[in-house]
C-alpha cells in the first residue's frame, strides 16, 4: 500500500475510534444524568415499627435495640443510648429522601464508594423479618451530597450532606453521656446539700416549686428550673476523657451532693472541686468519675437564699382587681371594667398602674433574721379575679427597711430606693381629669 493511502487509512481509523469512544462516554454520561430532578423517596417506615438499628463504619459496629420503649446500645458492649440523638435518627430514617437520582441501574458501585460503603445502616422492623439497609458512599464531585443506595437496589442516588451527617454517628455519639438520666417532666423532688443546710425542693398543688426543707419557704421557680437545666448538662466528655478524673475526684474536697427523684426512682451525684477550680462528679446512674463543665458545678455550689423567692408579691402579670394601701391614710382602690375607682371617683388609671408596677417590682436585697421598727406602709393586692389576696407590711428601723408577708415568717430586707418608689407612686395616685367641654358651634 502506498504511504499516502496508508496515512489516510490510519487517519480514518483514529477518527472512527474517537467517534466510538465519544459515543460510549456520552451514553455513560447520559446514564448517570439524574432521571428525576425531584427528591427521591428512599425509606417510609412508621417510627413505632423501628425496633433495631445497626451501624457499621469501617471496623466499628454499633447495635441499638428498643427495649420497653427505651433505646439501649447492645454492641460492641452494653451502654445507655442518648434518647435525643436516637430519637432524631429514628425520625430521619422513618422518612428518608434523597436529593436526586444519579443512576437508575448502576452495575459498578465501587466508583461511587459503595462497594464497600463508608456507612452501612440496617433498620430492623418490629416484626423482626423486614430489614431495610442503607448504604452511603463517597461525596459527590461538588461535595453537595453523598452517593447512596438501598441494599438490593441498583439505583444510586445523591443523599444530602445534612442527611448523611445526621446519620453518620459513632459509638460515642450514640451513647447517653448524661450523669443523671432523670425525666425532667416527671421530677417530684430535688435534694441539695451544698452551702449551709440541706435543701429539699418539691412541687405544691399548683405545680409550682416550693422549698420543703430546712423549713417551708417560697421558692424562686426560675432558679430551680435553671438548676435542673444544669443537672441535665452534667455529662461525661467521651471525646476528650480525663484518664486521671477518678484520682482528681477522690483528692478534691466535696462541695455538693444532689439527689433527683422522678417517677422511676432517685439518682444522686456528688461533686468535688480541686484547687484549680475544676469540678469532678460521680453519679449513681453511671460508673466512673468525670470532669464536668464549670457552670454545672457553679449551679450546685449555692445556699438556701439563692433559691428563695425574693419578690414580695406573687401576682406577677395577673391583673389586680383591688388594691388597699395604708400610707398617709387608708385608701382602697377597686377595678370596675377597665376603670380604677376610689369609691364613686374615677381614678387616673396610669397612676394606679404605676403603683401596681412598683409593688410588683418590690423585692428583697437579702433576708434578715429579724425585723421590727415602725410601720412605713401596708399594701394588700387582690388578683386572679379576687381569689388571691396578698398583704405586705413594710417597716423601718434606723436606715434599714424590712418587709413581711401575711402568713410568711420570712423577713425580707429592702433597699431604701424600692420603698421610696412605692411611697412616691402611692402619693401620685390621682383622680381622672374631667373631660374637656365640647366646643360651641
Per domain, the residue ranges of the chain are 40-174, 184-236+243-307, 322-427
pTM across the whole model:
0.78
The pLDDT of residue 17 is: 55
The pLDDT of residue 16 is: 53
The pLDDT of residue 239 is: 87
- List per-residue pLDDT tens for the chain, 441 residues long: 455 555 555 555 554 555 554 555 444 444 444 444 468 999 999 999 999 999 999 889 999 999 988 999 999 999 999 999 999 999 999 999 999 999 999 999 999 999 999 999 999 999 887 889 999 999 999 888 999 999 999 999 999 999 999 999 999 999 999 999 999 999 999 999 999 999 999 998 888 999 999 999 999 999 999 999 999 999 999 888 999 999 999 999 999 999 999 999 999 999 999 999 999 999 999 999 999 999 999 999 999 999 999 999 999 888 899 999 999 999 999 999 999 999 999 999 999 999 999 999 999 999 999 999 999 999 999 999 999 999 999 999 999 999 999 999 999 999 999 999 999 999 999 999 887 776 666
The pLDDT of residue 4 is: 53
Q: Which residue's entry shows cell 458501585? A: 109
Half-sphere exposure of 287 (CA within 13 A, CB side): 3
The pLDDT of residue 68 is: 87
The pLDDT of residue 24 is: 53
Q: Which residue's entry shows cell 439524574? A: 34
The pLDDT of residue 438 is: 66
Secondary structure of the chain in HEC code, one letter for each residue = CCHHHHHHHHHHHHHHHHHHHHHHHHHHHHHHCCCCCCCEEEEECCHHHEEEEEEEECCEEEEEEEECCEEEEEECCCEEECHHHHHHHHHHHHEEEECEEEECCCCCCHHHCECCECEEEEEEECCCCCEEEEEEEEECCCCCEEEEEECCCCCEEEEEHHHHHHHCCCHHHHECCECCCCCHHHCCEEEEECCCCCEEEEECCCCCEEEEECCCEEECHHHHHHHHHHHHCCECCCCCCCCCHHHHHHHCCEEEEEEEEECCEEEEEEEEECCCCCEEEEECCCCCEEEECHHHHHHHCCCHHHHECCECCCCCCCCCCEEEEECCCEEEEEEECCEEEECCEEECHHHHHHHHHHHHHCECCEEECCCCCEEEEEEEEEECCCCEEEEEEEEEECCEEEEEECCCCCEEEECHHHHHHHHHHHHCCCECCCCCCCCCC
CA distance 15 to 3: 18
CA distance 343 to 159: 73
Q: Which residue's entry shows cell 484520682? A: 247
| CATH class of the region 40-174 | mainly beta
Q: For helices 349-361 and 416-427, give the axis angle rounded to 10 degrees.
A: 160
The pLDDT of residue 300 is: 96
CA distance 129 to 124: 8
Amino acid at each position: 500500500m502506498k504511504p499516502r493511502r496508508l496515512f489516510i487509512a490510519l487517519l480514518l481509523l483514529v477518527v472512527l475510534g474517537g467517534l466510538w469512544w465519544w459515543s460510549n462516554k456520552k451514553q455513560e454520561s447520559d446514564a448517570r444524568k439524574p432521571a428525576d430532578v425531584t427528591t427521591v423517596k428512599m425509606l417510609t417506615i412508621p417510627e413505632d415499627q423501628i425496633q433495631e438499628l445497626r451501624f457499621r463504619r469501617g471496623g466499628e459496629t454499633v447495635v441499638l435495640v428498643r427495649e420497653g420503649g427505651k433505646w439501649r446500645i447492645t454492641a460492641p458492649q452494653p451502654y445507655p443510648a442518648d434518647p435525643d440523638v436516637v430519637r432524631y435518627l429514628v425520625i430521619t430514617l422513618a422518612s428518608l429522601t434523597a436529593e436526586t437520582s444519579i443512576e437508575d441501574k448502576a452495575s459498578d458501585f465501587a466508583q461511587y464508594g459503595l462497594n464497600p460503603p463508608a456507612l452501612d445502616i440496617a433498620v430492623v422492623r418490629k416484626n423482626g423479618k423486614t430489614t431495610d439497609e442503607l448504604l452511603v458512599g463517597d461525596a459527590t464531585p461538588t461535595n453537595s451530597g453523598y452517593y447512596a443506595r438501598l441494599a438490593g437496589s441498583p439505583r444510586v442516588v445523591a443523599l444530602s450532606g445534612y442527611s448523611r451527617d445526621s446519620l453518620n454517628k459513632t459509638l460515642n455519639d450514640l451513647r447517653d453521656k448524661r450523669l443523671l438520666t432523670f425525666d425532667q417532666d416527671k421530677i417530684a423532688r430535688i435534694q441539695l446539700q451544698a452551702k449551709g443546710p440541706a435543701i429539699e425542693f418539691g412541687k405544691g398543688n399548683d405545680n409550682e416549686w416550693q422549698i420543703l426543707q430546712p423549713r417551708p419557704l417560697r421558692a424562686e421557680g426560675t432558679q430551680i428550673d435553671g438548676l435542673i437545666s444544669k443537672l441535665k448538662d452534667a455529662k461525661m466528655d467521651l471525646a476528650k476523657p480525663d484518664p486521671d478524673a477518678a484520682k482528681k475526684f477522690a483528692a478534691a474536697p466535696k462541695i455538693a451532693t444532689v439527689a433527683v427523684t422522678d417517677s422511676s426512682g432517685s439518682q444522686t451525684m456528688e461533686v468535688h472541686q480541686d484547687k484549680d477550680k475544676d469540678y469532678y462528679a460521680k453519679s449513681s446512674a453511671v460508673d466512673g468519675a468525670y470532669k464536668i463543665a464549670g457552670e454545672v458545678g457553679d449551679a450546685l455550689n449555692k445556699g438556701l437564699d439563692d433559691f428563695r423567692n425574693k419578690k414580695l408579691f406573687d401576682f406577677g402579670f395577673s391583673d389586680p382587681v383591688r388594691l388597699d394601701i395604708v400610707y398617709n391614710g387608708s385608701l382602697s382602690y377597686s377595678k370596675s371594667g377597665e376603670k380604677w375607682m376610689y369609691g364613686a371617683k374615677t381614678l387616673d388609671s396610669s397612676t394606679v398602674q404605676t403603683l401596681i408596677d412598683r409593688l410588683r417590682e418590690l423585692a428583697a436585697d437579702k433576708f434578715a433574721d429579724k425585723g421590727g421598727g415602725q410601720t412605713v406602709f401596708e399594701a394588700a393586692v387582690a388578683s386572679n379575679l379576687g381569689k388571691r389576696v396578698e398583704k405586705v407590711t413594710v417597716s423601718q428601723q434606723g436606715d434599714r427597711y424590712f418587709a413581711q408577708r401575711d402568713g410568711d415568717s420570712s423577713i425580707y430586707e429592702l433597699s431604701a430606693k424600692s420603698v421610696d418608689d412605692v411611697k412616691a407612686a402611692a402619693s401620685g395616685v390621682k383622680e381622672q381629669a374631667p373631660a374637656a367641654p365640647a366646643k360651641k358651634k
